[in-house]
Amino acid sequence: MSTARYCIGIDLGTTHCALAYIDSQEGDGDTIVDAILPIPQLTAPGEVMDRPLLPSFLYLPHPEEFRPVDLTLPWPSDPSRIAGELARAQGSTTPIRLVSSAKSWLCHPDLDRRAAFLPEGAPDEVTKISPFAASVQYLSHLREAWNVAHPQEPLEAQEVTVTVPASFDPAARELTAEAARAIGIANLVLLEEPQAALYSWVNDSHGDWRTQARVGDIILVVDVGGGTTDLSLIAVTEEEGALELTRIAVGDHILLGGDNMDLTLAHLVRTKLKADGVELDRWQFQALTFGCRQAKETLLGDADLKSVPVVVPSRGSRLIGGSIRTELTQEEVTTTLVEGFFPEVAANARPMTRARSALTQVSLPYAQDPAVTRHLAAFLARQAGATEDLNGFAQPAAGASFLHPTAILFNGGVFKPAVLQERVMRIINAWLTAEQAPPARLLDARDLDLAVARGAAFYVHARHHGGVRIRGGTSHAYYVGIEAAAPAIPGLDPELHALCLVPFGLEEGSEPVSPPQEFGLVVGELVRFRFFSSNVRRDEQVGELLADWPADELAELEEIQTELPAEGRKRGEVVPVRLQAQVSEVGTLELTAIPIAGGAQRWKVAFNTRGTGAG
């Protein structure tokens, strides 16, 4: 039992952050009341306003840009960094000083995520910051907002859950946990966002979920946020007569979200205006994007509307006559947005990829195919066998080409227009019908923007005060690469074997696992291992050695590395060790090297978050 009064859920999103909390002294049984913390933030120079969401943007102002006093917050703050609404607004006209999508950079495999390189491409005189530091900045803004509102119950002393995309790799999870610790959070757990959305649904049902969900159900969570698409499958199982939830699969990290959709519409309208000889500057384009988002929601909300006017206000004070009026038509929204992002495809459709040119600049690996439904089809097909080992599940029907979900939960602001939810439902149900499976049900989500934070708060509460838990463990199996002992052949790389280090579904807090193989570590030298993951190989046991595997089943992550300190040993001496893996209570993967000779010494094997080749 914990003594903390509040259970806090933090949604550290790509485009927005939110904090929800549950007062453990209120509510009981199936009635658990959560609340959203109003987050004070600068909305204009010298103006502070409470908002439920903190836009995840950081603006690094020029020293002459604002009077320092105009950047005052209700707590002592650093005037060289502005977070939230003002940051986003300033950044629309001065993008060279704006840090955005820090979270996507946080899981970028090819970069040192602690290196200060954001804003990307900013001139040298702008003091840059790292994706990690930006995350710390957002978290500390939330901490201060909480502590100003609850001076007797500081955030550091509460039970806190921070959410991460289900597709985050171990290194990005580790960095998120470290960012939370950096602001002083001691009692921390990480939770996958689609799971948080499902927890929120469970809490909103006030216990009724047990009648809405049945043993054998497979719930597909489709979470399309501002910047990322996150997919998860959660099965409803039975354990000693009680319903249980088990997360059985997560999707790949797909950088595709609502912002892409609004931007696409804005580009379309801009092209239309250009044809009429009207050019827009950056400020106007921003205003156009905003106008298109509103127009889109109006049009998607009313199929009978033919078009909605969009007005780009003049930049100067001559509003009348200087503003540009155009319109967004129902047809444009349908062809560009609905057909572009949610096309009606068959279940065997796959996202299109094109080879990236070798000389690509390091940038965010945005999804190449904008079609959410194609990513969905690929995910379900890939996970066709996800329920094979699960108790109470019928074997997948013969000829099933993909995993058949029985219920669907939507999350993320993109799905606010009900018509998009209906469309995705219709497409998936068409796939199901084609394989003679019953149609999936729609689970009713209440709050698409705040569900993740609210579900995270509910999760902490359930952990400490009893309640439904989603089991799952690691969403991937992890492997280290070992070069096979074989005579060297010029021109050929030595054959690579993959040793299973962490099995699929290793649960947090469970006993550590360790493959029997020995490794020789050289004292005083940095030793690196190639590191792989798989989100489909569920049956691998610890210590199993793979000589070959289908190319799409294992994905290479960054190297992991360790260094044995030279104290008490000769430099260059080889120490035989075993690798050991454990999932901490926090939810991060911990790898250690243990000397076979015995002794209490342990060496941490670190995820190489400093980028390949560095360090």
Cis peptide bond N-terminal to 119, omega within 30: yes
Rounded to whole angstroms, how far apart are CA atoms 615 and 609?
9
Binding positions for another protein, 123-182, rule CB under 8 A? none
Residue 55 beta carbon to another protein: minimum distance, rounded to whole angstroms:
14
Binding positions for another protein, 275-294, rule CB under 8 A? 294
Residue with smaller CB distance to another protein, 148 or 484 = 148
Residue 363 contacts another protein per CB under 8 A = no
Residue 205 contacts another protein per CB under 8 A = no
Residue 8's DSSP bridge partners are: 21, 160
Residue with smaller CB distance to another protein, 219 or 308 = 308
Binding positions for another protein, 313-352, rule CB under 8 A? 313, 315, 317-321, 323-325
Residue with smaller CB distance to another protein, 141 or 537 = 141
Say which residues have a Cβ less than 8 Å from residue 570's Cβ, sequence separation at least 6. Answer: 523
Count of beta carbons in the 10 Å neighbourhood of residue 539:
12
Residue 299 backbone class (left: φ over 0; alpha: ψ -120 to 50; beta: rest): alpha
Rounded to whole angstroms, how far apart are CA atoms 9 and 36?
10
Residue 118 beta carbon to another protein: minimum distance, rounded to whole angstroms:
22
Binding positions for another protein, 3-62, rule CB under 8 A? 40, 43-50
Q: What letter would DSSP give residue 438?
A: P
Residue with smaller CB distance to another protein, 309 or 439 = 309
Residue with smaller CB distance to another protein, 320 or 492 = 320
Going by DSSP bridges, is the β-strand pair 407-411/441-443 parallel, antiparallel, or unpaired?
parallel
Rounded to whole angstroms, how far apart are CA atoms 172 and 424?
30
What is the three-class DSSP state of 111? coil
Residue with smaller CB distance to another protein, 277 or 491 = 277
Rounded to whole angstroms, how far apart are CA atoms 217 and 239?
14
Residue with smaller CB distance to another protein, 51 or 350 = 51
- Window of 312-320, 368-376, 525-533, 567-575 that interacts with another protein by CB under 8 A: 312-320
Nearest to 422 by CA among 338, 349, 340: 338
Residue 541 beta carbon to another protein: minimum distance, rounded to whole angstroms:
57
Residue 64 beta carbon to another protein: minimum distance, rounded to whole angstroms:
11
Residue with smaller CB distance to another protein, 287 or 583 = 287
Q: How many helices (H) and strands (E) does the chain have?
A: 13, 29
Residue 325 beta carbon to another protein: minimum distance, rounded to whole angstroms:
4
Residue 234 beta carbon to another protein: minimum distance, rounded to whole angstroms:
36
Residue 450 beta carbon to another protein: minimum distance, rounded to whole angstroms:
17
Residue 46 beta carbon to another protein: minimum distance, rounded to whole angstroms:
4
Residue 93 contacts another protein per CB under 8 A = yes
Say which residues have a Cβ less than 8 Å from residue 357's Cβ, sequence separation at least 6. Answer: none
Cα-flanking dihedrals φ and ψ of residue 178, to 5°?
Answer: -65, -40
- Window of 23-31, 68-76, 215-223, 502-510 that interacts with another protein by CB under 8 A: 68-76
Q: Which of 2, 26, 33, 74 binds another protein (CB under 8 A)?
A: 74
Q: Which of 121, 154, 301, 309 binds another protein (CB under 8 A)?
A: 309
Evaluated on CA atoms 467, 472, 474, 475, the torsion sign reads: negative
Residue with smaller CB distance to another protein, 189 or 308 = 308
Cα angle, residue 67 at apex, residues 65 and 73 outer, rounded to 5°: 110
Q: Which residues of 194-230 are buried (b: 16+ CB within 10 A; e: fewer)?
A: bbbbbbbbbbbbeeebeeebeeebbbbbbbbbbbbbb
Q: How many residues bind another protein (CB under 8 A)?
A: 27
Residue 510 beta carbon to another protein: minimum distance, rounded to whole angstroms:
48
Question: What residues line the site for another protein (CB under 8 A)?
Answer: 40, 43-50, 69-70, 72, 74, 93, 294, 309, 311, 313, 315, 317-321, 323-325
